[in-house]
Amino acid sequence: MAKEATAALRNVPKAEAIKAAVTRVLNLYEDIASHKGTYMAECKTIKEDIKQVYKDAKAEGVDTQALKAKIEIIQLEAKITAVQDNLDGDQLSIFDIIQEAVPSNLSPQLKLAGGKDA
């Protein structure tokens, strides 16, 4: 056991290398925190812009709830397309078979977590 401890001690890196690695990692975490703050500020600005668009649409007589529903549907359709685009040839063929086997009217029977029907 003493031999193992001695061998382990021979493989200990220099204190300067450890300190340099710790310093670099901590600096990178600080960079992440800084970028997160900037990102969140930018997101807040964009969300405020979106709210303004809805206010403008409402002022023009557009039902904002219906508008939000349409936007959500467009975003969901884009996600569906992205999922299908990630399938290779064989997977896409099998997916098509599954699509034909599962009736399209099955979806409304499912209740999504967090939805109004949940």
Domain count, the chain: 1
Q: What pLDDT does 11 receive?
A: 78
**Alpha-carbon distance values, 28 to 22, 34, 84 (Å):** 10, 10, 37
* Residue-range definition of the domain harbouring residue 92: 2-109
Specify the range with the lowest mean pLDDT, choosing from 22-26, 47-51, 63-67, 105-109.
105-109
Instruction: Give the per-residue pLDDT at 118.
Output: 42
Mean model confidence pLDDT for the chain: 86
Give pLDDT, residue 1: 57
Q: Is residue 93 part of a domain?
A: yes
**114 belongs to a structural domain:** no
DSSP states along 76-92: HHHHHHHHHHT--HHHH
Distance in angstroms (rounded) separating the CA atoms of residues 19 and 16: 5
Q: Is residue 11 part of a domain?
A: yes
54 close to 71: Cβ distance less than 8 angstroms: no
Q: Kindly report, residue by residue over 73-106, the tens digit of the pLDDT.
A: 999 999 999 999 999 989 999 988 888 888 777 6
Tokens representing 25? 């990692």
Quick one: what percent of the chain has pLDDT higher than 90?
Answer: 63
Structure tokens at 81: 């397309």
